[in-house]
Amino acid sequence: MFARYFGILSACCDITSSVRELALDSRRGRQRRDFSKHIMSTITRFAGIAFFFGATSVAFGSQTFVESFSNGSNVGAWHITQMGDMNPSTGGNPGAYIEAVQFGGFEPTARTTSTAPNPFIGDFRARDVTSIGIDLETISAQFGAQRPLTLMLYSDNGTPGNPNDDCEVYVPASNLIPQIGAGWTSIDVPIPEQSAVIPSGWQTVSCAATPDIGWNEVIQNVTTVMWVYGEPGFFYPADVWSMGMDNPRITSELGTAFCSGDGSGTACPCGNAGAAQHGCANSVGAGAFLDANGSASVAANDMTLVASGLPATTSTLFFQGTTQVNGGAGTTFGDGLRCVGGTIVRLGIRTASAGVATIGPGLAAPGGWGAGQNVDFQCWYRNISGPCSSGYNLSNGRSITFAP
């Protein structure tokens, strides 16, 4: 029966279907100069600027890109001063890091400068960016370190040559910057990227629009990320600083859910709407949810597909395709929605345990994925006692763009 049901599915699915720093600072009414006593050639270079390529740590259903600065790598072109940064191979948290020694300034800032596509900028809402973090060390300062640390996100609004429509949003990341002699401090800040209004604690600066409009403009087009020693609107004396940064990181959902049976798109076959982002409801509740764990790196080949909300021990077929059916809204099929079409590849059958089935890692070869390729995934499962009596149902779809 399982083969017969998916034979129908296969027949249906196989149809041909930098903004300059001076401009940034002057927008906030400041002008900073770096008086570096130890000017050195900046030891930075791009090392494969591609989404999620490099050191990666993973939480369930999400992925974290970490720039470790090892072997001269500097995705995002992070720096502290304009000319005097060094890249020691030891002393970081751990290993290599970026260091700036004995430089003058009012508000030292660790920031990105690359405008080429990289994991630290872009549309945070579309990518479901959930947090940004960094490790910082204050080595020395003449007047102490009694000031807050601020995370700032800047957008040039798509017009890098016109500063008049630029906007920044910021939130205090810590009551105090890392204290002198305290070693490395790790800071991570949640990003409420799906909020349509400016979240509590966040503020705008230099925005022509209202705070809510400014928030939406920035979060959908971040062009610079900054960790600032200080907070906008306050005056801080110039000082001579030595500091380091390591492991700037950004966490986002792995892939994007689409074609949900929650009523947001095509209606489920017999009024059996599921929970948000799930497939259509089944005999055990809110419908199956397809998520992904690991990373989108083809070389790492560590992605795992996870289907939950299934009948306890049902047979589950994981498959992929090259298109999204009905523009991503899906069409009715069995007790659920067929979301994935085009060229179908069956990745394998797994038996659920306690309503959860997984497949992977090691799927790159059978899936035939390449860097830059977008692939759509879904799972089909038996549900003999399902609400619409077809005997089978499907999860939501999940779209993933792969990297090297």
Q: How confident is the model at residue 209 (pLDDT cuts 50, 70, 90)?
A: confident
Q: Are 65 and 49 in contact (CB under 8 A)?
A: no
Output the pLDDT for position 98.
Answer: 98
Q: Between these two residues, 1 and 65, which has the higher pLDDT value?
A: 65
Q: How confident is the model at residue 48 (pLDDT cuts 50, 70, 90)?
A: very low
What residues pair up with 103 in beta bridges, in sequence order?
Answer: 241
Could you tell me the two tokens for 143? Answer: 């007047």
84's CB contacts (< 8 A; 6+ apart) are: 34, 36, 38, 39, 40, 42, 100, 101, 103
The three-class DSSP label of residue 168 is strand
Give the H/E segment covering residue 375.
Answer: strand 374-383
Alpha carbon distance 172, 149 (integer Å): 6
Q: How confident is the model at residue 61 (pLDDT cuts 50, 70, 90)?
A: low
Closest listed residue to residue 26, CA positions, set 195, 139, 164, 124: 164
What is the mean pLDDT of the segment spanning 63-81? 92
Q: Are 150 and 168 in contact (CB under 8 A)?
A: no
Closest listed residue to residue 168, CA positions, set 179, 181, 152: 152
Backbone angle region of 327, left / alpha / beta, with phi > 0 → left and psi within -120 to 50 → alpha: left
**How far is the CA of 138 from the CAs of 154, 262, 390, in angstroms?**
24, 49, 64
Q: Between these two residues, 82 and 220, which has the higher pLDDT value?
A: 220
pLDDT surpassing 80 at residue 44? no
**How far is the CA of 39 from the CAs of 36, 46, 106, in angstroms?**
6, 21, 19
Q: Are 66 and 57 in contact (CB under 8 A)?
A: yes
Output the pLDDT for position 219.
Answer: 95
Q: Beta-carbon neighbour count of residue 144 at 10 Å?
A: 10
Domains by residue range for the chain, with CATH: 2-16+255-401 (no CATH), 32-253 (2.60.120.260)
Output the pLDDT for position 91.
Answer: 97
Q: How confident is the model at residue 22 (pLDDT cuts 50, 70, 90)?
A: very low
Backbone angle region of 180, left / alpha / beta, with phi > 0 → left and psi within -120 to 50 → alpha: beta
Q: What is the mean pLDDT of the chain?
A: 85
What is the mean pLDDT of the segment spanning 124-153? 92
Percent of the chain predicted with pLDDT > 90:
67
Q: How confident is the model at residue 65 (pLDDT cuts 50, 70, 90)?
A: confident
Could you tell me the two tokens for 114? Answer: 């690359």
The three-class DSSP label of residue 215 is helix
Strands (E), 191-232: 203-205, 224-229
DSSP state of 328: G
pLDDT tens digits for 229-240?
999 999 999 999
Backbone angle region of 168, left / alpha / beta, with phi > 0 → left and psi within -120 to 50 → alpha: beta
Closest listed residue to residue 338, CA positions, set 317, 368, 310, 311: 317
Q: Are 222 and 155 in contact (CB under 8 A)?
A: yes
Q: How confident is the model at residue 51 (pLDDT cuts 50, 70, 90)?
A: very low
Nearest-Å Rg of the Cα atoms of the chain is: 24
